[in-house]
Amino acid sequence: MSDLKFSTLALKPELLSNLESLGYESMTPIQAQSLPDILKGKDVIGQGKTGSGKTAAFGLGLLQKLDVKRFRIQSLILCPTRELADQVAKEIRRLARSIHNIKVLTLCGGMPFGPQIGSLEHGAHIVVGTPGRVEEHVIKGTLNLENLNLLILDEADRMLDMGFQPALDNIVRRAPDDRQTLLFSATFPNKIKQISERIMTKPGMVKVESTHDDSSITQHFYKVADNDQRLEALRLLLMQHKPESAVVFCNTKKDAQIVADKLIAFGFSTLALHGDLEQRDRDQTLVRFANKSANVLVATDVAARGLDIDNLDAVFNFHIALDTEVHVHRIGRTGRAGSKGIACSIFSDKESYKVALLEDYLNRKIVGEELPDFNVLHDAVMRPQMITIQIDGGKRDKVRPGDILGALTGENGIKGDQVGKINVSQNFAYVAVKRSAHKLAIKKLEKGKIKGRNFRVRVIRG
């Protein structure tokens, strides 16, 4: 945190009072450095990792600029994934609580197109979406950008990694030239530099160092001879540390799936997250990992962007990241909010070039440590505490989290502290319950009613 308070900014009184009610007092470094220029209407490039507070930075700039009385789309925020878009829209709504009648609309792929057209016809002030779907609406004429005065690219590096450059170019071509543009990115490769030069006017550059305090994240490095030994090393490390919640990073989709399959065969509660998953499978994977129904998530960097997981115990790099800043971004997902975290990276001689770059970046000599003793393999593999139950009813059925909690904890039900996270989407709801209580929970949901109706329920397993 910086020492600068939000109250030092020329923000609308209702925004300041809402920030106070949310407990936001001091600005994070990226907010303190970027908000003065954002509020002046200047173009800004912000470089900072996930969790740096960039969403509030551009969100406050957007809400300060917004004219609620003009019921036209004035701001467009582009994100690489649906999960990140949902997260950003949620944060904007929180920041806008004290301003009445603000309409925020999400437009993402993997969702039906028709209802989105209907929502656009009803009008909105702010659109948050993924480039492919937003481009589709713009081309079909269902999304009109002529009143746009603020364009925000969030996680711009990942959008380019995912092949969204043509869609971005197409959207920018159809947006008014006379607009403010904000670009946020965890890393700043040449591709980002080039796109910023094309679409921005004299942007200010704000960079928050992506370094991590050694007291909160302990980094370990392990040298292996080949891929078989790499998998063996990962298995030994997982057995030694027994993380309740860990992400294993792979550099390719193929590796992510292979590693996940092998860990499952060894008995680990494991999920894979990569670009080849169907949207519904991706949604379920994210829900199950976030609610502690699986211990290990094997992911690619692109797929893990927008992953909002609290209390991640450990990060394992199955391969060294292709980019040193990506390595720092990966390990920054553990040891957050003052908690301790472990980062274990596995490397071979073939990766000596990447290791040398990492040594320069971290300003330390990387020496392979000794792997855990094989005796750890005699221990029982850790099982997740929670189990996820899917309910075939969601927002369209007016199902709310409170209805599910009530159905589970009613007469002869399970205890409130045996219920974990509840996620309600458009068509489904997911509830995490303690493993010891899941049979009674299923029985309660099958025999009881939610909103006066019976819904089909089932346990989601890998």
Same domain, 65 and 183: yes
End-to-end CA distance of the chain: 40
Q: What is the mean pLDDT of residues 427-451?
A: 91
Q: Which residues, 6+ apart, have CB-to-CB distance to 353 below 8 Å?
A: none
pLDDT score, position 212: 45
Q: What is the pLDDT of residues 96-118, one digit of tens each?
A: 998 888 999 999 887 888 999 99
**Of the candidates 207, 233, 267, which is a domain's last residue?**
207
Same domain, 51 and 149: yes
pLDDT score, position 100: 86
> What are the C-alpha distances in Å from 314 to residues 70, 229, 303, 330, 396?
47, 20, 18, 10, 37
Same domain, 289 and 159: no
pLDDT score, position 451: 82
Mean pLDDT for the chain overall: 88
Residue type at 106 in one-letter notation: T
* pTM summary value: 0.62
Q: What is the mean pLDDT of residues 44-62?
A: 86
Higher-scoring residue by pLDDT: 331, 373? 373
Tokens 């989290």 belong to which residue?
401
CATH of the domain at 311: 3.40.50.300
Same domain, 297 and 342: yes
Would 212 be classed as within a structural domain?
no
pLDDT score, position 214: 47
Same domain, 138 and 261: no
Same domain, 349 and 436: no
Same domain, 329 and 426: no
**Of the candidates 352, 378, 404, which is a domain's last residue?**
378
Of residues 140, 217, 153, 156, the one with CA closest to residue 179: 153
Would 114 be classed as within a structural domain?
yes
Same domain, 230 and 374: yes
Give the structural domain span for 11.
6-207
Would 374 be classed as within a structural domain?
yes
Q: Binning pLDDT at 50, 70 and 90, where does residue 308 land?
A: low
The answer on pLDDT for 217 being more than 80 is no
Q: What is the pLDDT of residues 63-96, one digit of tens each?
A: 999 999 999 999 999 998 887 888 899 999 999 9
Same domain, 155 and 18: yes
Same domain, 120 and 181: yes
- Please give the share of the chain, as a percent, with pLDDT higher than 70: 94
Total domain count, the chain = 3
Would 1 be classed as within a structural domain?
no
Q: What is the pLDDT of residues 15-41, one digit of tens each?
A: 999 998 888 888 888 999 999 999 999
Q: Binning pLDDT at 50, 70 and 90, where does residue 211 land?
A: very low
Q: Binning pLDDT at 50, 70 and 90, where does residue 213 land?
A: very low
